[in-house]
Amino acid sequence: MYEIISVLRQSAIVHDFDVLELIDEDSVKLIKIKAVLEKNWLLYITELHTKDYQKYSYHCQKNDGESTDTLIELFASITGTHVKLRRRSCKQGPRPQAPC
């Protein structure tokens, strides 16, 4: 859990971050972070760990609230490189299939 804070401090693309919530007890460990990245992108991190359950959530968006599908898009924006994204598609058969 504290490794996340260390990585954010050392990252060249992280301008600032706030720890929104931190619980470090024997039965539960929770961290919620909002990080401001290059070009004013925002990264929200949530990690929850209990004895029997783990949940991870990472959400990246432009500061104007527009969400991005991938961190590749963020990387391309920061580095100025062109990245062509290929989307995976689901084929619909006669019966509904599980989401891709």
How much is the pLDDT for 28? 96
pLDDT digits (tens, 9 = 90+) for 15-40: 999 999 999 999 999 999 999 988 88
Q: What is the mean pLDDT of residues 68-90?
A: 56
Does a structural domain hold residue 97? Answer: no
Tokens of 52: 């029997």
Domain count, the chain: 1
Phi, psi (deg, nearest 5) at residue 90: -100, 140
Range of the domain at 63: 2-79
Does a structural domain hold residue 86? Answer: no
Is pLDDT above 50 for 6?
Answer: yes
More confident residue, 83 or 53: 53
In whole numbers, what is the pLDDT of the chain averaged over residues?
78
Does a structural domain hold residue 20? Answer: yes
How much is the pLDDT for 82? 55
Does a structural domain hold residue 94? Answer: no
Amino acid letter for position 55: K
Does a structural domain hold residue 100? Answer: no
Quick one: pLDDT band at residue 92, thresholds 50, 70, 90? Answer: very low
Does a structural domain hold residue 87? Answer: no
Does a structural domain hold residue 98? Answer: no
Does a structural domain hold residue 14? Answer: yes
DSSP string, 1-18: -HHHHHHHHH-TTEEEEE
pTM: 0.67
